[in-house]
A and B are shown apart, each in its own frame.
Chain A
C-alpha cells in the first residue's frame, strides 16, 4: 500500500476543528490531510461583496445584513487601501452583523423606511434558514427586505476538486460535512463515492467525531470498501431530510452557472430565488452591478481551495498576507486553510513575531 494516506476534509468547519482540537498533531505521520474548499466565505468571489458596498454607497436607505464571517473579506485588493464591509461600516454605511436571517424580520419592521438587503451565503446547511426567511417575508407581506442569494452546493465542489487533482494528488478518502448532510441526506455523497471510487465518511464536528472518522476512513480503505459511511449517527438519521428538501425546492432553483473562487465557473452549483419570489430577490429589486475585480496576482487561494497547493506554497503567506491584513478570503475566515495554518504557526517564519 502507498506510504502516504491522503484524506480530504471537505468542510472548512472540519479544517478549523482539526487544528483547534489538536487532533492534527495526533494523527499518525503517514496520514496527510488535504483541506477542501468547503468554506463558503473562501469560495465567494469578492465582487459580490463589492457590489453590496457599491449599493450602500449609492443608496443611503440600504442596510446590508451579513454574517460576521463576511465583514473583513478584502475587495479592491490592488487599490491603495483595501476595501471591505467593515471598512464601509467604519465610514458610516449601515452594515449590520446578524446571527440568523430570521433576525431581519424584527429589524425590518422596526425601520420601515430602510431597505434591508441580506447576503445569503453558505452551503446547503444555511440555505433552509434563508428559504424560511423568504417564506416569512411573503407571509407577513414585508416590503422592505430582499435577499442576495449566494448559496452554493457541495457535490459540484467535491466533483470539481476530484477532477482537478491528479492521481498522485487525489485523496484516498473524504471526510464529508455532517451538517450539510443533515439537509441533503446521504444519497448525493453515496453517488460521488461510487463514481470516483473514494470512500466518504460523513462526520460530526467534535474532535472525537473527527478522530473516529479518520479511523473509519482507514477501515474502509483497508477493507477496500467504497461508499458512504455515516459517523454522525446521533444527529444524521437516514430519510429525515424530506422537510428540508421540500423547503429548498419551494424557494430555490439552480443558477445555470456560478463562478466560484478558485474552482471556476460551475454549472448548477448555486441557488437563486425562484421567479415567483422575485419580490424578495435583491438582484431584481436593486441594481446590483458586479465589477470585474482582480485579486492579488500572487494569491494562491484558488490552488489551495482545490487542494493542489498548501498555504505555505503561497509567496504572500505570513508575509504580505496575514490575518491582520488579509489579501484573500482564505486568510480571513477562521476555517480558511491559510488562517488555520497561520494560527497554528505552520510555515510562519521569524518575522511574523509570535512564532519565533
Chain B
C-alpha cells in the first residue's frame, strides 16, 4: 500500500476498502462495528439503528441535488438498509474560508426541506472553519442518523445463494450529473442526479413482513461494482450481473458511451440494491415500479456460490467476464 493518503482512497473503490480494512480496522474494529450500512445499537433492553456518513462533493450544487440534500438522503437510505426509520440526527459542518454565506444558506435550506419532509429532529450539531483547499471554497458535512426499526421482526440475514439482485431504479445518473457539472463536459442534456430519499419507496415494503428481503445496500461511491465486491468479500459469495438487464435511461447510456465510462463504477444517490429470494422477485418489482422512485426497477443479476471469480458480468453477446474491483476514478477517455 502507498504510505500516504491520496485521492484514490476516497473514491469508494478498492483502495478505500483497503484503507478501512487494513488501517482503520486494525485500531477500531470490534464485534459491534457493523459491516452493514447501518448498525444496531443496543442500550439496555432498547434497540435502535444508527448510521453515519461524510459528504464531500464538488460542485456543491448540481442538477437534481446538492451536498446538503445528499447529506440527509444518504444517511436516510443507509438507515433503511437495516430497516430503520429516520428519527434523530446529528450534524458536523466543516466550512472552508471564503465560502459565501449565501451558499451556506442554500445548503441549509436544502437540508431543512428533507429533514422536515421526514420529520427528522436535529438534536445536535457543530461547525468549524478550515483554510480553503482550492479556488472554490466549499464545505464538508458529516451526518449521523438514528431511529427505531420500521418493523420489529424485520432482520437482514445477508445475501443467500440463488438470491435475485434487484436495482430499485435506473443507474448511473448521479455520477454523470456531478461529472457534467464539475468538468463542464461537451454535451448538454437532461441528466440529473437521482439524489433522493428512498424512504417513501421502501418503507411500505419494509413494513410488510411477508416480503422477504435478505440484504440491501446503496451503490454510492464505487458504484454497483464496488458494493458487489464488498458484499462478496464480507459474505463469501459470488455475484453475476447481467449487462443486458442493467437499467439505464437513454441519456445516461449515451453519456457512458461518449465518455467511455463503465456504469457499474458510477455512483448513485437514489438507488438501492436488494437481495431477495427468487420467489419474492416478481412481487417486489411490481411494487417498486408503481412508484416514480422505482420506475426503472429491474433484476440485474443473481447470487452464486463462491467461486474464483467473485463478481462477473454476463455480457450482451453471451460472454462472461470478470468485473474488476477498481478505484472507480471515472475519468473520461478518448480511446
Contact = CB atoms under 8 A, between A and B. Distances in A.
Interface of A: 12-13, 16, 19-26, 39-41, 67-69, 71-72, 81, 90, 92, 97, 99-100, 103, 122, 126, 207-208, 211, 323-325, 333-335, 342-345, 353-356
A103 B326 contact: no
A16 B190 CA distance: 29
Contacts of A122: 334-335
B319 A21 contact: yes
B333 A334 contact: yes
A68 B332 contact: yes
Contacts of A208: 317
B319 A90 contact: no
Leading 6 A-B pairs by shortest Cβ distance: A22-B319, A22-B315, A343-B324, A354-B325, A68-B331, A99-B186
A324 B328 CA distance: 10
Interface stretch (B55-63, B109-117, B305-313): B305-313
Given A72-B331, A323-B327, A334-B333, A353 B317 contact: no
B125 interface: no
Contacts of A344: 321-322, 324
A22 B329 CA distance: 22
Given A20-B321, A22-B317, A22-B321, A353 B14 contact: yes
B200 interface: no
Contacts of B35: none
B143 to A, nearest CB: 27
B220 interface: no
B97 interface: no
Contacts of B7: 90
B69 interface: no
Most buried by B among A19, A25, A68: A68
B308 A335 contact: no
A103 B332 CA distance: 15
Given A21-B316, A92-B134, A324 B327 contact: yes
A350 to B, nearest CB: 10
B185 interface: yes
B292 interface: no
B136 interface: no
Contacts of B318: 22, 26
A353 B233 CA distance: 10
B308 A355 contact: yes
Do most interface residues of chain B lie in helix, strand or loop, or is the interface mixed? loop
A97 B315 contact: no
A324 B325 CA distance: 11
Nearest to A87: B6
B108 interface: no
Contacts of B8: 324
B327 A69 contact: no
A23 B317 contact: yes
B310 A68 contact: no
Nearest to B331: A68
B334 A68 contact: yes
A226 B322 CA distance: 36
A199 B18 CA distance: 47
Contact of B313 (A22, A72, A81, A354): A22
Given A20-B321, A22-B320, A343-B324, A41 B185 contact: no
Given A25-B321, A100-B186, A323-B326, A354 B229 contact: yes
B320 to A, nearest CB: 5
8 contacts: A23-B319, A24-B321, A41-B335, A97-B183, A99-B185, A99-B332, A207-B315, A354-B325
Nearest to A336: B335
B191 to A, nearest CB: 15
A23 B320 CA distance: 8
Interface string B254-292: 000011101000000000000000000000000000000
Contacts of A71: 331
B183 to A, nearest CB: 6
Contact of A324 (B15, B233, B262): B15
Given A324-B14, A324-B15, A335 B313 contact: no
B2 interface: yes
Most buried by A among B317, B321, B334: B334
Nearest to A27: B319
Contact of B322 (A12, A81, A325, A345): A345
B321 A97 contact: no
Nearest to A334: B333
A351 to B, nearest CB: 12
A21 B18 CA distance: 28
B326 to A, nearest CB: 6
Most buried by B among A12, A23, A323, A342: A323
Nearest to A210: B317
A64 to B, nearest CB: 15
A264 B27 CA distance: 50
Contacts of A103: 186
Given A41-B335, A355-B310, 14 more contacts: A23-B317, A24-B321, A26-B319, A81-B4, A99-B186, A99-B258, A99-B332, A103-B186, A324-B8, A333-B333, A345-B322, A353-B325, A354-B14, A354-B325
Contacts of B332: 68, 97, 99
B333 A21 contact: no
B324 A342 contact: yes
A218 B176 CA distance: 41
Contacts of A20: 262, 315, 321
A21 B324 contact: no
A355 B322 contact: yes
A356 B183 CA distance: 37
Contacts of A325: 2
Contacts of B320: 22, 25
Contacts of B321: 19-22, 24-25, 344
